[in-house]
Structure 1
């Protein structure tokens, strides 16, 4: 296998983490909306947890994108 082909395959596999982050964000916001609609009084208490979960999940997606870029242009 050529080294260039291996870099491209590795970068493609690294970007799968972005799909996982997208699924995770959909689940986080979907479950928050479900909880907020069932109990609107508790929505304000759940919001900090929502923001933290959003930040961590989005960071993992960005990290997988950065790994793909590093594989393409640096390695």
Structure 2
């Protein structure tokens, strides 16, 4: 049962990072002058989302 929970957590994290990458590339395409700021925000969002995926993995292993 825990493997299913972890799988759902990974799918959620993957979708979130994909949507963040889509938003960042769209923003950089529309306004190239904000590339540095958009990239920084994208990296932070990806790191936080990946951390949540790893927390789900740890919770799955504990329970």
TM-score range, shorter chain: 0.7 to 0.9
Larger Rg: 1
Name the structure 1 match of 2:62.
Answer: 70
Q: Write out the 4+ residue segments of structure 1 that deviate beyond 6 Å after TM superposition.
A: none
Aligned-residue Cα RMSD (Å) equals 1.2
Name the structure 2 match of 1:60.
Answer: 52
Question: CA–CA distance in 2 between the matches of 1:32 and 1:70?
Answer: 35
* Residues matched between the structures, number: 62
Alignment partner of 1:20 out of 1, 5, 12: 12
Q: Could you tell me the TM-score, scaled by structure 2's length? A: 0.85
3-state secondary structure, aligned to 1:53: helix
Question: CA–CA distance in 1 between the matches of 2:43 and 2:23?
Answer: 13
Question: CA–CA distance in 1 between the matches of 2:34 and 2:58?
Answer: 37
Unaligned 5+ runs, structure 2: none
